[in-house]
Amino acid sequence: MQGSSPEELEQWLLTLMQSTRQHADDKGIITNDYSLNTIVYFDKCFEIDALAYLRVLEAYARSSSSGSSQKSEYWIGVLERHYSAATELFYATYGRRNDSAYFEHTFVSLAKRNQNKSKDEKHGTILNNEREHAVAIVRNLQPTVDCYNAVIEVWANNKDPISVVRSRRWLSKLEDEAKNVDDHSIIRSPLLPNARSYDLYFSSCSRGIGKQAKLHKERAEEAEEILLYRLSPHASLAVRPKTESFNYVLRAWTRCRNEISVAAKVMNLVLMMERIQKEVILADEKGFDVDGEDMSWKRDISPDTKSYTMALDAWIIKAGIKAEKWRSGRVRALNSIKNADKQRAREGVEEVANNPSMDDGSNEMEKAETILKYIHDLDRIGHSDVRATVVGYNTLLSGWARLANEFRPSVPLKSEKILYDMLALAEQGNTTAAPDVTSFNAVIKAWGRTKQANSALRCEFWLRKMIREGGTNFIVTPDVATYNLCMDAHLNVGDAPRVEDLLIEMDSTNDISPNSESYSKVIRAWLDDEMNGPHYGLPGSSCINASNWLNKLLEKERSGEAMLLGPAPELFSAILKTAARTSARGETLLTIGISTFDAFKKSRFAVDHLAYTWLLEIALKVLSSPNNDNRREEVVTGLFRQCCNDGLLSSLFVKKLTEGPFNDEGWTRENSERLCRELLGDPPYATAWSRNLKDQAHNPMKFSS
């Protein structure tokens, strides 16, 4: 049955149950009279055991199909009920005799009969003694630790936020069973968790599922606590950890990306692994027995490439947190200077210069580089479990990219040096250190984050190098992320036309297709140009460009030209907001606002009250002249009623109607007061559309006085 799907094995088990029932009916054997899934009788033709269930459970553990977790829980539940039914039938048939002499005699007999036989041969073992045969049937139906491990594994592979809780539930069941280790009998063996049980749960904890940083930390702490128990003298040999056990806990800590203590936690664990490794080496050199129970398991613990790479990553996490705080301090100081608050600016600069907690993360990056050098040294002396690979280099490059910002323009030079080192190593024969597309993208990202005059040009230098030399000399071809990072760099320096050119270039190539993020960057670039840029055309022209690109993206989504291609709700809101705030006042702006709003309503996203408010701003701005009095009243009235019908009328919407800005003619304060009375009427207002009018200061009730 190797390679069979879970559904095929499930059908095989059901067929086995049906044939077992049929055998009983044909021979007139008395059964427990339960349902098909839990049928039990004591006869040689009864062939169902926990191993049959295990095949199904392991198949679901290997499966990536949806519903595998629920299916595995269903079948472990069936197995538990089946074993319970067998136990009840045994006690009903033979009573609850459990004397130690008979207990020992039965086990000796079973051991002799099963000696030198495979698991499959044991299915059909025929025991002469009827009671011993019944004991074998019941014991073979008892769920094993492997069965529960399969259920823990299937949840460990599940991306659902509840998966960690479910994994813990089944591990806890094994731990509860371990507390009843003395509660065994002739038909019940002690059930204990083993090392794999805990490692599977560690795997579940370390996947970083969900976005709650507090939850990630709690899971890492729990995993570390369990690991320390497994290392303690009280733990049994069956649960002793291995290198992979430590690595799972290390990974759990590195999921805590906002926790500054991660570096200390990870380094403590790595140093613990090194101490255990050193203890075994010294004991072996002194001639001590390292194969005994106290030392044998320690031989399976030694830091490997994963361990050191995660230690490197932990220092990068700490460096990134410090760098962000350092940058925030610099930004506050500069903002104070811009606001002419010299005293506050002086204090901000002093805080950045003198506060040790405000360092820029360079010390942590040096420690990360030291670990990478240590990996190189171990690799050079022939340590088989530690290799300097592209993963370690990419981790370091990602750290430098995170530290790059407008105040540290030299950081990308460090990234470039690391990339050149990787290329040199690859040319010398160390192909495991050859850079991949992630390596090049990290360098491009570092340049883009500096926002310098030449940063976008350096990004394009690497992009062109990848296009021109890709596939030769260990230089890889670019992907969509490479283009997006270059677009980001041009967006950061306000070059909207170049962002657009890169999207057109990417769309025209056969190998790389732009994604939703690519279109989003072009749209945001033109909107940013509208508000802050030099305007490549008349005011409002950049907003038109952004709207055109949104329409192209919507058209691609409707046509199904590319899977998962479509706009985010923020794009609709951004265009409406920019159209409302720009200095442009042309009729085209209102057309853009209405078309964007209509597209927003037709999309799969929910329109919010801000979208109505921004469209109102656009209408009042464009239609503010006396020539548009009738049209303005018609548009505003229609928008107001639509807003009320959707239950999205807000105080902000009413504020825009009542507080202007107003003109001397056309949209005047008097026209605003009159229109508000017509639209809102006299209080009290209908709850259906006025429940969001919480700010009475902007409530038009004041006009009635």
Kindly report, residue by residue over 593-605, the tens digit of the pLDDT. Answer: 999 999 999 999 9
The Cα angle at residue 170 between residues 259 and 90, in degrees rounded to 5? 170
Q: What is the DSSP annotation of 474-521? A: TBPPP-HHHHHHHHHHHHHTT-HHHHHHHHHHHHH-SS----HHHHHH
Question: Which pLDDT score is estimated for 128?
Answer: 45
Question: Which pLDDT score is estimated for 87?
Answer: 92
H helices within 533-628, ranges in order? 541-559, 569-581, 587-602, 609-622
Phi and psi, residue 359, nearest 5°: -70, 165
Contacts of 479 (CB under 8 A, 6+ apart): 437, 441, 512
In angstroms, the CA 526 to CA 162 distance is: 41
Can you state the angle between helices 569-581 and 587-602, rounded to 10 degrees? 160
Contacts of 98 (CB under 8 A, 6+ apart): 185, 186
Q: How many residues does the chain have?
A: 705
Nearest in space to 620 (alpha carbons), one of 655, 648, 595: 655
DSSP 162: T
Please check whether residue 29 is in contact with residue 41, taking contact to mean a CB–CB distance below 8 angstroms.
Answer: yes
Give 104: exposed, middle or buried? Use CB within 10 Å, 0-12, 13-18, 19+: exposed
Question: Which pLDDT score is estimated for 184?
Answer: 66
> Within a 10 A sphere around the Cβ of 164, how many other Cβ atoms?
22
Phi and psi, residue 224, nearest 5°: -65, -40
To 10 degrees, the CA torsion angle through 425, 431, 435, 437?
A: 170
In angstroms, the CA 9 to CA 75 distance is: 12
In angstroms, the CA 414 to CA 404 distance is: 10
In angstroms, the CA 242 to CA 488 distance is: 44
Residue 302's H or E segment, with its range, is: none
Phi and psi, residue 451, nearest 5°: 55, 35
Report how far apart the first and last C-alpha atoms of the chain are (Å, whole number). Answer: 86
Question: Which pLDDT score is estimated for 286?
Answer: 86
To 10 degrees, the CA torsion angle through 359, 364, 369, 373?
A: 140
Q: Which two tokens stand for residue 58?
A: 């392991």
Residue 650's H or E segment, with its range, is: none
Question: Which pLDDT score is estimated for 698?
Answer: 46
Can you state the angle between helices 305-338 and 342-354, rounded to 10 degrees? 160
Mark the ranges of the chain whose per-residue pLDDT is less than 50: 99-103, 119-128, 349, 352-353, 356-357, 696-698, 701-705
Radius of gyration, alpha carbons of the chain: 35
Question: Which pLDDT score is estimated for 100?
Answer: 45
Question: Which pLDDT score is estimated for 690?
Answer: 72
In angstroms, the CA 139 to CA 152 distance is: 22
Please check whether residue 149 is in contact with residue 200, taking contact to mean a CB–CB distance below 8 angstroms.
Answer: yes
Question: Which pLDDT score is estimated for 418?
Answer: 97
In angstroms, the CA 18 to CA 6 distance is: 18
Question: Which pLDDT score is estimated for 560?
Answer: 79
Question: Which pLDDT score is estimated for 287?
Answer: 86
How much is the pTM?
A: 0.84
Reply yes or no: is the peptide bond before residue 161 cis, omega within 30 of 0: no
Question: Which pLDDT score is estimated for 164?
Answer: 96
